Amino acid sequence: MRKFFTSLFAFILSGFAGGLVAEELAVATGAEEEYIVVFMVSVLVTLVVTVVFFMAQFMADPAMAVAKAAKWSLIVFAVLLTLVVGAVLYTDASTQVIKRDVPMVAGLLLPGIVTIVVQWLFVRWRVGRAHTGFGRSGANA
């Protein structure tokens, strides 16, 4: 039950943090309807990362699994966003269109990174280190 509530609270905290960053970017850049996509992607990233960290808590060494999940989540997220940036820059558009797309790409990047980092910090804090006891079955002396 502890793992479920850890994931639930991590979902709430990371979703709030990612949404807050997305909202601040939308206000700072004067965004309009196009930022709806950023908010939807932020929720999607929060859901996927919550599932990944929830499964990591069931591994034999949960602290190590959470660290690896965070590292690989950031790597996969960075690769996907590199592909998006490449698609934006590859189009045969003028520099005005590219300048208009830069805030949206930043809106996709920063909330996702904040979501992954907050999720990792909270789950890592709740999982802690496994302490093995003394004796055959791990009982304390």
How many CB atoms are closer than 10 A to CB 139? 8
Stronger pLDDT, 136 or 81, i.e. the higher one: 81
119 lies in a domain? yes
* pLDDT value of residue 26: 87
Three-class SS state of 68 = helix
Residue 40 lies in a domain: yes
Provide the terminal-to-terminal Cα distance of the chain, rounded to the nearest Å.
28
How many domains are there within the chain? 1
Q: For residue 98, is pLDDT > 70? A: no
**Is the residue at 133 inside a domain?**
no
pLDDT for 136 equals 64
In a domain, 30, yes or no: yes
**Given a cut of 90, is residue 135 above it in pLDDT?**
no
The better pLDDT of the pair 107, 53 is held by 53
Integer CA distances (angstroms), 39 to 43, 58, 66, in order:
6, 30, 25
Structural domain including 121 reads 2-127
H or E element at residue 74: helix 62-90
pLDDT at 131 over 60: no
Q: Would the pTM of this model clear 0.85, i.e. be above it?
A: no
**Residue 132: inside a domain, yes or no?**
no
CA distance 119 to 130: 20
Rounded Cα distance between 23 and 38, Å, is 9
